[in-house]
Amino acid sequence: MISEKEKGYIVCEKNSKAPKLEVYDFINRFDGEVGVLKLKGKVIQEVAVTDNIQYPEDGKIVYKFYRENGKPLLPGSSLKGSVRTYFEFFFGNENADLVFGSNKGASRVLFEDKYLKEEWLTKVDVPKFIAKPKDRESKLLVKLYKLKPSEEYKNRTNQMEAIKKGRLNFNIIIQGLSPDALKAILFSFGLFKNYKFPLKIGRGKNIGYGAIEYEFVSYERSEFSKIQNIDYKKFLEDEKLGNKFLEKYKIDDELLSKIKELKEK
């Protein structure tokens, strides 16, 4: 029997103690942060977002990268789902619904789709993926994937199209977040000093694929936003301010210890 730690992931209890973050509705969005968050992503494990169709090729099954109008596309929804998973862990379900949206309210963040060049893709060896019903875990739990691949699935006789290791740029549109809500997003992207970690996305997360390390580039604030005096780059470089924020939102040593586990290779 392979233990949970050897399966390439850990199951964690979400933070239920975090205070409620403040957000603004669309009409009043300029009372909060409105702008474009620019990040640079370093693909450290090949990333695959597939179309879920099995293509036979030379006696193998090939899982092809998602395409739109014939062009490879990394959907913004996949990026959004990736960071939301970590956000839920650190800041809880209620805050995630406020920031990323739910059936009760609109999202305050928009992740742009990213078209890719064909030469940015490669093929990696994978097992045959078997569709399984999603785990019906408690809404209080979340599955986080480690850099270290699972000890399962040693027999990798099929292939999957994936983004090569390298760098990509990402834009995220912010509409009506409080400064703390934006800082929570920055933390969930692994951008705080001393608390950096890669995020997993797409297919094969448990077998050594799908890891991106993010880097803050800039935040281009709308001139109409009433908030004009916060420099997020300086905030990310200030360890004391970062720790004060984590203390405010009840992100304790037990939660932070999971970051070390996620980075294990």
User: Which range has highest mean pLDDT (47-61, 118-132, 204-218)?
Assistant: 204-218
Q: Does any domain span residue 108?
A: yes
Residue 90 lies in a domain: yes
Single out the residue of 144, 145, 152 nearest to residue 126, CA to CA: 152
pLDDT, residue 153, reads 67
Q: How many structural domains compose the chain?
A: 1
| Res. 81: pLDDT tops 90 | yes
- Asked, for residue 110, whether it belongs to a domain, the answer is yes
Distance CA 23, CA 245 (A): 17
Alpha-carbon gap, residue 179 to 183, rounded angstroms: 6
Percentage above 70 pLDDT, the chain: 94
In a domain, 63, yes or no: yes
Mean pLDDT, residues 93-114: 95
253 occurs within a structural domain? no
Digit-coded pLDDT (tens) for 130-150: 555 555 557 899 999 999 988
Residues 188 and 44: beta-carbon distance below 8 Å: no
Q: Quick check: helix, strand or coil at residue 206?
A: helix
Per-residue model confidence as pLDDT tens digits over 188-234: 999 999 999 999 999 999 999 999 999 999 999 999 999 999 999 99
Residue 211: inside a domain? yes
130 Cβ neighbours under 8 A, 6+ residues apart: none
Residue 258 included in any domain: no
Asked if residue 261 is part of any domain, the answer here is: no
Q: Are strands 166-177 and 109-111 parallel, antiparallel or unpaired?
A: antiparallel
pTM of the model: 0.93
Q: Which residues constitute the domain of residue 174? A: 4-130+139-237
Whether 20 shows a pLDDT value over 90: the answer reads: yes
Alpha-carbon distance of 257 to 76, in angstroms, equals 29
> Helix (H, G, I), strand (E, B), or coil: what is residue 112?
coil
